[in-house]
Structures are given as structure tokens and as C-alpha cells.
A and B are shown apart, each in its own frame.
Chain A
Amino acid sequence: MLPELGHLALILALALALVQGTVPLAGAARGDGAWMAVARPAAWGQFLFLALAFGLLTQAFIANEFSVLYVASNSNSQLPLIYRISAVWGGHEGSLLLWALLLALWTAAVGLLSRRLPLEMVARVIAVMGLISCGFLLFMLLTSNPFERLWPAAPDGRDLNPLLQDPGLVLHPPMLYMGYVGFSVAFAFAIAALLGGRLDAAWARWSRPWTTVAWAFLTLGIALGSWWAYYELGWGGWWFWDPVENASFLPWLVGTALMHSLAVSEKRGAFKSWTVLLAICAFSLSLLGTFLVRSGVLTSVHAFANDPTRGVFILMLLGAVVGSSLLVYAARAPQVKSSGSFALFSRETLLLGNNVVLTVAAASILLGTLYPLALDALGVGKISVGPPYFNTVFVPLMVPLLLTLGIGPLTRWKRDRVSRLLGPLGGLLLLSAVLGAAGPWLAYGRLPAMAAVGTALGFWVLFTVLLDIRQRSRHCGLGGLNRSYWGMTVAHLGVAVTVVGITLSSHYSVERDLRLAPGESADIGDYTFTFEGVEHARGPNYTSSAGTVRVSLDGEPVARLAAEKRVYTVQGMPMTEAGIDAGLTRDLYVALGEPLASGAWALRLYYKPYVRWIWLGSLLMAFGGLLAAADRRYRLARHGRDETEPKANLQPVEAGA
């Protein structure tokens, strides 16, 4: 009975989404206030019904309702409660429901926090989001109903994929989806502004906090996924340039460009058409990511749907969104006037450089991701593009990006003199280069060129950020700097931390695959790893071979690592649980391979310096984003100032880009 109620709630949500997507839009076109006023209640109603549907599906999982096909395919009575709850989004149907729920949540939030916006604008934004929601709800009801019954009911479920039975994976999809779906707000604002012909500073100011929050969630989602891959897949890698990873990285890159371009549009009234195009691209890439990941085109842990009709449906949805939004863009963009002119050396130029580099990076990753698919679809041949391609293309692009990252915030809007900055910056660049070369060389005794470059760029960002803080706080003190500025600063420092982490862990990791019998030792870097042997153990829904490895440094014990090889009983699927001793400057990492003759095991032993910094930096970036979005200015903007004039804001204090 309850699952049918959930199904009904989905249908009602679709009905409301249809109303929400059409009536306010028509109202805005006719100037009819009553029709436009439908937007908010419709959005809230849709959210309530989707929350109800989601709650009922969760209830079906908690109650082990194996007469529901989706529950029977993704859960088991032996599964611990926390994973029964996270299993709700562990499969295709449920993750779609989560997507739709989060979209409704963002829409409801827009309705709630936009009291000061003109009703016409709000109506259009909510209507555009309603139309997107219609697409996803139709998709769910027509091809992937999570409440479908199974008759006769299964005696027990087929269990959740063991890879997903993990704390990191409980949070990874909701965070990632918050980011993906969050870009729909920036998209809806852009389309609404195009439709209303209101591409002004106010539009950019409204879009900014939403975009930044979505970007922060996406950052967290990607970082969680990378961290999970590191400890769960047992290969010790944190990024594989796998197509599904690229699918989340593409909207992140374009979203980063969008955040910076929005800053120019707000402060200086320039780059407007470009910003709109980026907003369309960021959301389209989010949809493309969903298509790639969910359609079964790519094969990975994420590809649940091998039903071709589903892939075709998402592709049609993608085509409709991209096609219609580009059509609106083509019709309206020529009327957009970008006002602010700027000199060759100015903050605008540097932000333009940021945008060019980020979009080129995104385009080259897109090429490497889609090229094999295109060749396969054309029947030319089966190929794959390996990580070396992505590294060769991506890493060199980051060098100019990080250099401009350091200079950008120090530069003035509109016009600046190179000579003003050349003195201090030249010194800092030299200092960073010396420290970047000396630091790793002293610590590890050898210096690959890229290790020096990466570390030097980390120092460069740190120093320029500190210089910027000193210059800006000279007049107003540290307390006078606003949250938006601190957010930018923290996020930029996060970039530096991540870059140093990536550089040091990729150049100075020591990795060895070994055959070890109990009692034997191996040296990894300065550490001695001693294999103590393997014991058998039982978990709630798996059996396990648990190995212990003692690690010592110069005879002093450092850590005892417990690595496991589990076999999940329901699916008979083996899983590696790595044993990790985490530290700020190094991780010690052990994964069990396979049992060999006479009690020996194949073992994978790693020493990974500074690998934690990769995720620490991502956390800083996400925190910086949230801090910037919490700036008082965005709330003041809702207290009825006249916002149609672009503000030529040249005071350094307010100029947090």
C-alpha cells in the first residue's frame, strides 16, 4: 500500500511540475501577476510530494519491503541499517528520485530566499526549473519507477553492491547531486534573464551566491568520490581520469569559470553573453555527466542502467535542454550590451585568462572522454584514451592558471600598471621558485622538474594571497575585510594545498607489489613493513581474511595496519579493504592481493607523501565557497536598493572576486 502511495506522490509531483513550468512562464509573458504568483506554491507543493515519495521509498528499505523490485535488487535483510538507508540512492531509480528531490529542494529554496526579486524574474526562474523537473519526473515514471512491485515478492534482497557499503559513499552521491542540480539555478537565472531581457548587474548578483554554493557542493562531492576511490578500490590512486570521474570534473571546471565570469558581470558589467553561455554549458555538462554515467554507455560502478530506452530518454532530455536554451541564447544574446571597457592589463583581462584556460581544459577533457564513444558509435573501432593523454594536456594548462590566480586578486579593475606590481611580484616569484626547488629536494633527495614547478606554484599562491591580505587590510584592518573576500582567499589557499598534495604524492610516492610470507619484511622508503599473517573473520554480511602489517621507522614501531579481503556472501563478490595509517605529511597504505602458495600473500605496499593535502585543499575550497556565498552584501541586496546600475566598485575592500 505505501509504495503505491509513493508512486501516486510522484505522479502528483509531476502534475505540479507541469503547472510550475508553464503557468508562471505564460504569466510573465502576459504580465499577469496572479499567474506568476503560482510559481512559489507550486514549487513548494512539488517539493512536499517528492519528499513524501522519498520518505516512502526509504521506509520500504528500512522495513525490508522485498515486494518492491528496487528494494529487492539493492538491499538485503542482513544489510546494516545505515546502508539500508543509503541504498535508497544506491541504484538507478533511487538516485533519480534523489536528483528530482534535490532539484525541488533548490527550487523551493529559490522561492523562499528571493522575496526581494521582481516577481517576473522569480516566476521565470522557478518555471524553468519546473520544466527541468518535468523532464526528470517523466523519465522516472516512464522508464524507471522506483516503486515498481515484484510479484511474487522476493524472500530476500540481492544486496547492495559491496563497493557502495561504505561511509564515504553514503554522502558522495547527495553532495555531487547538490552540485549538479545546483547549477540548474544558475542556468534558470540565465534563461530567465535572457527571456526577460534583464541581463544586468542585478542578475549577476542574484546568480552569484547560488552558483558558488552549488560549486562548493560539487567540490565536496568530487573530493569524497576521490577519497573513497583511494581507500576502497585498493589501488591507492585518487584519480584515474575514468570517464565517470571526468563527467563530474567537467561541470566543475566550467562552474569554476562561471563563478569568476559572474564576478566580472556583476562588478563591471562585462562578459555578460559569455557568462550566460557558461551557465548554459555548466548545467548541460551536468546533464551530460548524468547521461554518460547513468545510460550504460560507460561501464563502471556507476552504470546501473543497461536498458537502452533509458539512455535514449536522457539523450533526448539533454538535446531538448541544450537545444532550447541555445535557441533562446541565439535569439536574445545579440541584444545584450556588455558595458565595461577595460585596459589590456586589468583584473578583467586576468579573469578572462582564467576563463580561457578553464574552458580549454574542459574542452580537452571532453574530447578525450567522448572521442572513444564517438568512434564506437560510428563503428570505426574500439579505443580507449589513457591517463597519459589527460595528464599531458591538463597539467601544463594549470601552470598559467595558477600564475594568474596569484596576480588576479592584486590587480585593479579596469586599468592597472604593470610597473606597480612588477617589483613585489618578481621577488615573490623568485622566492617561490627557490623554495619550491629546495623544499622537495631537501626532503626527498631528488627533484623531478614538475615536482619543483608544482611546489613553487603552491608557494606562489600562498605568498601572493598573503601579500593581497596585507595590502587590503592596510586601511581597514583584518576585521574590515568582508566574508566574500575571505571566502575567495580560503578557496585560493585550498587550490595551493591541493596542488602541493597532488605534486608531492605523484612524484614521491613509493609503491611496491610484493609476495610476502608471514614474518617477512620489506622496506618502502624509510619504513619497514612486516607482514604478520592473515586471520579469518566474519562481518554482518561478509566473511573476511584480515591481514596485519606492522610498520616501523628506524626500529621504532609506527603503526599496525589492518587490511582485509572480504567476500560479501549474498553476491559472492570479493572486496579489498585497504589498511591505512593516515598522517598530515604521509600515508602508509597496505592492500591485500591474493593468497599464494604456503601461507604467503601478494601485498601492495605504499608510502604516499602529502596525499591528504589533496582532500584537505578541496575542503578549504568548498568552505571558501560557502563563506563567500554567506556575504552580507547578498543579503543587503534584498533590501531594496536600486540594483540596475552596474557598480564600478573600485574599492579594494569590496572587490572580492
Chain B
Amino acid sequence: MTPTRRNRLILVLVIVVGVGVAVGLALVALSKNLNLFYSPTQVAGGEAPVGHSFRVGGLVEPGSVQRDPDSLRVRFSLTDGAHRVEIEHTGILPDLFREGQGIVAQGKLATDGRFVADQVLAKHDENYMPPEVEDALKTAHEMGVARQRESAR
């Protein structure tokens, strides 16, 4: 093996090992930091994990927003038309948080069924509906229609 070739081999090996380690770390980090999205119907159906962070989205139910008088704690419910989830959040809500608005909350499900959100996201446009929320509303609506048909039969 000529010295040039040997050098090349060493370089290639170092790069392959380095990139391999980086890819491995990336995949581990990815699997730990994926946030799955669940609709209120899925949460009510017990599909969502307890104690693991995920996202839930829907419309803020009008009249459901309750503020704690002494702190920044706020409670509201999110609905997709079929089911609702109680959300609890401590902190400042985004500018575009309003009743009836489509929002996404990220956090964990407590054992008593409340969803403790550490982040509440409303996007930059008042007419904007997060696509996940739109989907969730549509699915819940279709399921509702199907159920009505069945009961009509």
C-alpha cells in the first residue's frame, strides 16, 4: 500500500466513523424529541400517552377561559366538535389567543385527565387554522355524521 493510499484509507475511516457516530446521535435525539399530535377525540379515547410530551390542537371553547386572579395560571378547554380537553397553562398566552381560535398546545397529560401545557401556540394570522386542527375538526365531524346515520337506521 502506497503512503498516499494509506493516508486516504485513514481519512476515509475517520470520516466514516465520525459521520456514523453523528448519525447515530442524530437518530437517538430525533426519537427522543418527536412530538406526536393528538386530537381531543383521541385524547378522550385514551390514545394519548400519560407523562410523555405531545401536542394537542383544537378550537378554544368560547366561555371556557378562566384566569387565576393572583397568578398567571389560566384554564381553558379545547374542542374538535366531538370531545374536549381541559388545558392548564401558566404563563403568557400568545397575541392571537382568543376564544374560538384554533390553537395548538404542547405539554403532558396529568393523571387526572388535565393537559398541562408548557407552550401554547397560535400562529401569526388571525384567519389561520393550524392544519392539524383543521384535520382534527374534519375527522370529528365525519365521525359525528357517520354516527348520526347509524342511529337514524
A interface residues with partner B (beta carbon < 8 Å): 161, 163, 234, 299-301, 341-344, 349, 352, 356, 360, 364, 367-368, 371, 381-386, 388-389, 392-393, 396-397, 513-515, 565, 571-576, 591, 593-594, 596-597, 602, 604
Contact = CB atoms under 8 A, between A and B. Distances in A.
A573 B33 CA distance: 33
Nearest to B3: A343
Interface string B34-73: 1111000000000000000001000000000001011110
Interface in B1-29: 4, 7, 10-11, 15, 18-19, 22-23, 25-26, 29
Interface string B67-95: 10111100000000000000000111101
Nearest to A566: B95
22 contacts: A301-B125, A349-B11, A364-B22, A367-B30, A371-B30, A381-B37, A383-B35, A383-B37, A384-B55, A385-B33, A385-B35, A389-B33, A389-B34, A393-B22, A396-B25, A513-B92, A514-B72, A573-B126, A575-B95, A591-B92, A594-B92, A596-B69
Nearest to A594: B93
Nearest to B22: A360
Most buried by B among A300, A385, A594, A604: A594
B132 interface: yes
B71 A571 contact: no
A515 B72 contact: yes
Contacts of B10: 344
A385 B30 CA distance: 7
Contact of B33 (A161, A234, A388): A388
Interface of B: 4, 7, 10-11, 15, 18-19, 22-23, 25-26, 29-30, 32-37, 55, 67, 69-72, 90-93, 95-96, 123-126, 128, 130-132, 135
Given A344-B10, A573-B126, A593-B92, A389 B72 contact: no
B135 A382 contact: yes
B72 A513 contact: yes
A161 B26 CA distance: 37
B105 to A, nearest CB: 12
A383 B57 CA distance: 12
Nearest to A163: B124
Contacts of A344: 7, 10-11
Contacts of A513: 72, 90-92
A366 to B, nearest CB: 11
A382 B37 contact: yes
B35 A386 contact: yes
Nearest to B73: A515
Nearest to A343: B7
Nearest to A565: B95
A382 B93 contact: no
Contacts of A396: 25
A388 B29 contact: yes
A365 to B, nearest CB: 9
Which 8 A/B pairs are nearest by Cβ-Cβ distance?
A593-B92, A389-B33, A382-B37, A392-B29, A301-B124, A364-B26, A574-B95, A388-B33
B126 A571 contact: yes
Given A356-B15, A389-B32, 15 more contacts: A343-B7, A344-B7, A352-B15, A360-B23, A382-B36, A382-B135, A383-B34, A388-B32, A388-B33, A513-B72, A515-B71, A565-B95, A591-B92, A593-B72, A593-B92
A572 B126 contact: yes
A299 B37 contact: no
B11 A382 contact: no
A392 B11 CA distance: 26
Contact of B29 (A393, A576, A604): A393
B7 to A, nearest CB: 5
B30 A368 contact: yes
B124 A161 contact: yes
A420 B91 CA distance: 57
B65 to A, nearest CB: 11
B137 to A, nearest CB: 14
Contacts of A389: 29-30, 32-34
Contacts of B70: 515
A452 B18 CA distance: 24
Contact of A234 (B34, B95, B135): B95
